[in-house]
Amino acid sequence: MYRDIRNESLFADAHERSMTYIDEVFDRNVYPTEEALSSLRIFDEDFPDAPTEASGVIDLLGRYGAPATVAQLGGRYFGFVNGSVTPVGLAAKEMATFWDQNTAMHVLSPFASRLESVVEGWLNEIFGLPDGTVAGFVSGTSLASFSGLAAGRYRLLERLGWDINTRGLFEAPRLRVVTGDHAHATVHKAVAMLGLGADAVERVPVDSEGRLIASALPPLDDHTLLVLQAGNVNSGSFDPFADVCEAAREAGAWIHIDGAFGMWAAATERLAHLTRGIELADSWAVDGHKTLNTPYDSGIVLCRDSEALSMALHASGSYLVLGEDRNSMFFTPEMSRRSRIIELWATLKYLGRSGVDEMVNGLHERAAQFADEVGAVPGFSVLNDVVFNQVMVRCDTDELTSSTLSRIQDLRECWVGGASWNGRRIIRVSVCSWATTPDDVSRSVASFAQALDDVVGGHAIAG
Ligand SMILES: *Cc1c(COP(=O)(O)O)cnc(C)c1O
């Protein structure tokens, strides 16, 4: 049964289904149909007493799972900020799946450890970060921000004469967190997980594009974690790093940048101006699985202060085998971890400098096209300056915006989500898939127009 790993027909079947999936995913309904969703009932069963044939398990996934997936791989998914995958990234991940490497320590996987060192150097070059910056490969920006801020918490307290590792947070000098009013929810989550408390957060007012207003910063000091943003999750705007980082450094603050999707602007000639000044920070969080289009899950924490990061994420035990080589677990909260570096390395190796530039710039161009085309449809207006890959759209009233959004989702020709912006409802468009073609954009805008027509004409209620 489970001993027969070389089960050729099983893998052939799974592979065949995966290829069929790819054949269909670029053209099918982006969101699963109601029928596909209600068929998921098949999975609601008690834990089976007896084994199931392996082929039957894969059949269940293929038959009921695949149609119920959201077509994020394709070119008309514009929800949240979600990338697609390149063929080489997916193929590399498939090989890595077979190798099943644990990357906690060098001794566990010298190969993965080597690739991590190589990619760490590449990322420093791509983003223009200081020499000696180290990288930890985590599940996403949530954990990357947690790790970067943990390093900051360690270092600020250490400078204040307090060793958090032995003395803990109770009675420790109080730290402040200063961040823009539009900081991502995961920044606040990290602050909570780090025990700093929401009361420690000082929110700085933002301008009409969601950028922190430099002149509105409170005085910073050596108790401060300053969190800036490269890529506002709604508008795509960037905080004014160059205007605030130097003074923040002089004040002794720790600067962390949430650059989940926006950091990649640094990899392009045309958009790099948006990230000017990021090299002055102490830690950075960025995703591979958004703008770079690596498979999930791929997040990276980068930290100028290698010692602070590893002290913050320290683990020890007599059975651990440590040497001079890179031991990844000192740069991540986890110990055992899959080798997500393999698909990240493969994607970067495949694209090279010019390929990354082209991919990231392409997302910007499609976003600009989306804004131009949707802005030309009567009844829609574009609210933001499309500096990167995000477009904010609204109709004449909040009610119309909400019902049009819901009709767009029902039509399933594309998928977008909503949010509120300065108290008004908006439709968010995030162009984050390399697979989005100019035609995908036009098709999606046509679906927006159709949805608005349906709503105004009263046809949407039955839909
Ligand atoms: C997506 C996103 C995050 C969270 O990243 P995950 O990879 O989902 O953990 C944080 N900040 C910003 C600006 C984001 O867009």
Cβ pair 89, 314 in contact under 8 A = no
Instruction: Check if 299 has its Cβ closer than 6 Å to any atom of ligand 1.
Output: yes
Ligand 1 atom showing the smallest separation from residue 287 Cα = 7
Instruction: Check if 141 has its Cβ closer than 6 Å to any atom of ligand 1.
Output: yes
Instruction: Check if 231 has its Cβ closer than 6 Å to any atom of ligand 1.
Output: yes
Cβ pair 262, 388 in contact under 8 A = yes
User: Which pLDDT score, from 0 to 100, does residue 412 have?
Assistant: 97
| Phi-psi map region of 7: left, alpha, beta (phi>0 left; psi -120 to 50 alpha) | beta
User: Which pLDDT score, from 0 to 100, does residue 460 have?
Assistant: 55
CB-based burial label for 54 (10 Å; 0-12, 13-18, 19+): middle
pLDDT band per the 50, 70, 90 thresholds, residue 6: confident
User: Which pLDDT score, from 0 to 100, does residue 459 have?
Assistant: 66
CA distances (Å), 368 to each of 82, 373, 391, 430, 432, in order?
18, 9, 8, 11, 13
Least reliable range by pLDDT among 5-9, 242-246, 344-348:
5-9
pLDDT band per the 50, 70, 90 thresholds, residue 463: very low
What spacing in Å lies between the alpha carbon of 185 and ligand 1's midpoint?
Answer: 8
Cβ contacts of 107 within 8 Å, gap of 6 or more: 321, 323
Pocket test for ligand 1, best of 82, 142, 263, 390 (most atoms within 8 A of CB): 142
pLDDT for 277 beyond 60? yes
Least reliable range by pLDDT among 19-23, 98-102, 315-319, 330-334:
315-319
Using N-to-C axis directions, what is the helix angle for 398-411 and 438-457, rounded to 10°? 120
> What are the tens digits of pLDDT across the range 107-142?
999 999 999 999 999 999 999 999 999 999 999 999
| pTM for the full predicted model | 0.97
pLDDT for 310 beyond 80? yes
pLDDT band per the 50, 70, 90 thresholds, residue 248: very high
Dist CA 156 CA 225 (whole Å):
8
> What are the tens digits of pLDDT across the range 67-114?
999 999 999 999 999 999 999 999 999 999 999 999 999 999 999 999
Please tell me which residue, 316 or 416, carries the higher pLDDT value: 416
Cβ pair 245, 182 in contact under 8 A = no
3-state secondary structure 377-397: CCCCEECCCCCCCEEEEECCC
Q: Tokens for 297, please give them.
A: 């899950």
Q: Tokens for 313, please give them.
A: 């994420």
Dist CA 33 CA 7 (whole Å):
33
What spacing in Å lies between the alpha carbon of 142 and ligand 1's midpoint?
Answer: 6
Ligand 1 atom showing the smallest separation from residue 140 Cα = 7
CB-based burial label for 372 (10 Å; 0-12, 13-18, 19+): middle
Instruction: Check if 227 has its Cβ closer than 6 Å to any atom of ligand 1.
Output: no
Q: Tokens for 184, please give them.
A: 């991502």
Pocket test for ligand 1, best of 78, 186, 238 (most atoms within 8 A of CB): 186
Dist CA 150 CA 392 (whole Å):
33
What spacing in Å lies between the alpha carbon of 145 and ligand 1's midpoint?
Answer: 9
Report the chain's mean pLDDT, rounded to a whole number. 96
Q: Measure CA 227 to chain center.
A: 17
Element of type H or E holding 31? none
pLDDT for 405 beyond 60? yes
Dist CA 398 CA 90 (whole Å):
40
Question: Average pLDDT, stretch 40-56?
Answer: 97
> What are the tens digits of pLDDT across the range 186-238?
999 999 999 999 999 999 999 999 999 999 999 999 999 999 999 999 999 99
Dist CA 181 CA 216 (whole Å):
11
Q: What angle do CA 375, 418, 406 make, to 5 degrees?
A: 85
> Cis peptide leading into 325, omega within 30 of 0?
no
Question: Average pLDDT, stretch 238-243?
Answer: 97
SS3 category, 436: coil
